[in-house]
Structure 1
Amino acid sequence: MATFVKTPSGTWKALIRKNGWPTTSKTFRTKCDAEDWSRRTEDEMVRGVYLSRTVSEKMTVKTALERYLSEVTPTKKPTTQRSEGVSATNLISFLGSYSLAAVSSELVASYRDHRLAQGKSNNTVRIELALLSNLFTIGIQEWGLGLIFNPVANIRKPSPGEGRDRRLSVNEEKVLLEAVDAHNNPMLGWIVRIAIETGMRQSEILNIRRSQIDLKKRIVRLFDTKNDSTRTVPLTMDATRIFTLALNNPVRPIDTDLVFFGEPGRDGKRSPYQFVKVWGGIKSALGMCDLHFHDLRHEAVSRLVEGGLSDQEVASISGHKSMQMLRRYTHLRAEDLVFKLDKMNQSETE
């Protein structure tokens, strides 16, 4: 049975004590509102479906995201941690002051439209919505926030798009390789060439240890990948030559097993070689600002397909889990297809 108490400020506090349930209370502007809430709450208790919404009503999106970043994000890969940190900042700027209980599907849709109107890419907005959705999932399943649904689940997500189709022209590759080879640290040139030759991701290349490379068998074993599955990458003759140079780097320090190493940090440990700033400077100087490092992976995968490898063979090298995603990363040059068509027609007429 509920009891009602008028507070000194003139509001009404409803207090419910029922066997088998924690004591529950809530303050309202009028006694009528307090009585309505108590009847609904007691009915839910009788039916065994009551969930205390007190925490979700008091916890803001900002507080929840800060807890998520401190408890959940550290369990993920470094690249994901950085991405979630940026996404959380953007979410907080728009939704931070709302309580979790106040976040509706309409409000989330408003955030989506706001970000798209700012000119943010579909993929950026999808990543931010994915973080918000996971926040609510964790809150419902693990934090006991008393929420009954995920407000992100039912809204339309921006389409992922067709993916980038940036390819390197022959001249672009020539001047790019000349520029990175001319840099005072040879590791930059080695990294760029390995990306083009193997299709490995930037993070995969930077985290390679010497023990993962078998020059005799011409393979690299990758353990720390984006999708957490190990794979073995075969090496071309040129990739083998580059790895040989990298392994024989005369300035390699004795305190790291990284093939591509950086300077010691504050803790005295060496992290992988960081080249984002110099890479950006070289692209700008060459007038190739639209080229992303990840485009080198696209280039490599497309070349594997053009070389005649099957989808399954390419996927085993690139690490793509689905043929659909592999096709999004594969862009064949029309002029190369014209050449193949001519060869096919020529063979038919002979």
Structure 2
Amino acid sequence: MTTKTLREALNHYREKVSILKKGYKQECYRIQQIANSLLGEKIVREITSVDIATYRDERLQQLNGKTGQQISPATVRLEMSLLSNLFELGRIEWGICDDNPVLKVRKPKMPPGRERRLTSREERLILRYAHNYGNSELYAIIIVALETAMRQGEILNLSWEHINLKTRIAHLPDTKNGTRRDVPLSIKARDALIQLGVAGNGRVFSYTNAGLKTTWRVMLLRLGIEDLHFHDLRHE
């Protein structure tokens, strides 16, 4: 491999490594961010820990183009992990560098975890909203989230063929962590699914992640509930 710049190495990494990952699209976005920076123009073998630290500090001062908010420490940590993996491959397999400068640089500290909790009143409001608007899917999604602590993506990807209503088990063949697991369903969660009309196969819910996000936002606006994320339901 005759790669010279970090940008070229990142493109090679995307084609050979990232493409095999489940989070390919997200990693491509991170690769693009790094490649388009001043760091991307540097020769891989000449990049130092000072260069990595400079990239880290400058990135933390930038704003997200979509949200207008400051780039989070979590985002920068992911980008630094990607760079570290690239340098390890570059050192061991590709022969384009002699060490991994990322290992010598501190990653940004993560802020304290989110403490928002769904109140009993808010739970009654959102369940009544979903029920009164005749949105049985939204109602079932909220119930399943509250009763099982499953992630939004896991709920929306549920398939009827992976749900055993008799034993009250939902099988998740492909989780965020890349492992399979079985999730026990409470009687309340099972009954909410039954109300949808059981099918032999196919997706349980028609919502996409973007669609649910929009519906959730509209619901909160109408109910006057502030700063409640779908993820917050998992804490109950």
Same fold, judged at TM 0.5 (above): yes
- 1:247–1:259 CA contact under 8 A, matched in 2: no
- Change in Cα spacing, 1:272 to 1:168, as seen in structure 2 (3 Å) is closer
Q: Which has the larger radius of gyration?
A: 1
Residue 281 in 1 paired to residue 218 in 2?
A: yes
Q: Is the counterpart of residue 291 in structure 1 residue 228 in structure 2? A: yes
1:40-51 alignment runs, 5 A limit:
none
TM-score by length of 2: 0.83
Task: Determine the structure 1 residue equivalent to 2:118.
Answer: 168
SS of the residue corresponding to residue 120 of structure 1 reads coil
Matched, 1:89 2:40: no
Unaligned runs of 5+ in 1: 1-53, 263-270, 300-350
What is the rounded CA distance, in whole Å, between the counterparts of 1:156 and 1:272 in structure 2?
34
- Structure 2: distance between partners of 1:190 and 1:207: 14
Which residue of 2 is the match for residue 311 of structure 1?
Answer: none
Query: Are residues 1:243 and 2:193 paired?
Result: yes
2-structure distance, mates of 1:180, 1:68: 45
TM-score (norm 1): 0.58
Q: Residue type matched to 1:257 in 2?
A: G
Which one of the candidate residues 189, 196, 202 is aligned to 2:152? Answer: 202
Letter in 1 for 2:36: S
Residue from 212, 219, 241 that aligns with 2:162 = 212
Identity of aligned pairs, percent? 39
Counterpart in the other structure of 2:18: 73
Aligned residue runs from structure 1 range 51-62, under 5 A: 55-56=2-3, 58=4, 60-62=5-7
CA distance in 1, matches of 2:13, 2:131: 43
Would the aligned equivalents of 2:146 and 2:234 in 1 still touch at CA under 8 Å? Answer: yes
Contact 2:153 2:209 in 1 (8 A): no
Compute the displacement of 1:155 (Å).
0.5
Shift of 1:106: 0.6
| Distance across 1 between alignment mates of 2:10 and 2:134 | 42
Gaps of 5+ in 2: 63-69
Tell me how many residue pairs correspond in the alignment.
Answer: 228
- The separation in 1 between residues aligned to 2:41 and 2:121, in whole angstroms, is 52
Structure 2 vs 1, CA of residues 272 and 155 (structure 1 numbering), >3 Å: closer, same or farther?
closer
Q: Alpha-carbon deviation of 1:273? A: 8.6
Higher relative contact order (CA 8 A, sep 6+): 2
Q: CA RMSD in A?
A: 2.6
Q: Deviations over 1:65-110 (max 9, x none)?
A: 2332333223222xx2333233223223322222222322111111
Relative to structure 1, is the Cα distance of residues 65 and 246 closer, same or farther in structure 2, using a 3 angstrom cutoff?
Answer: farther
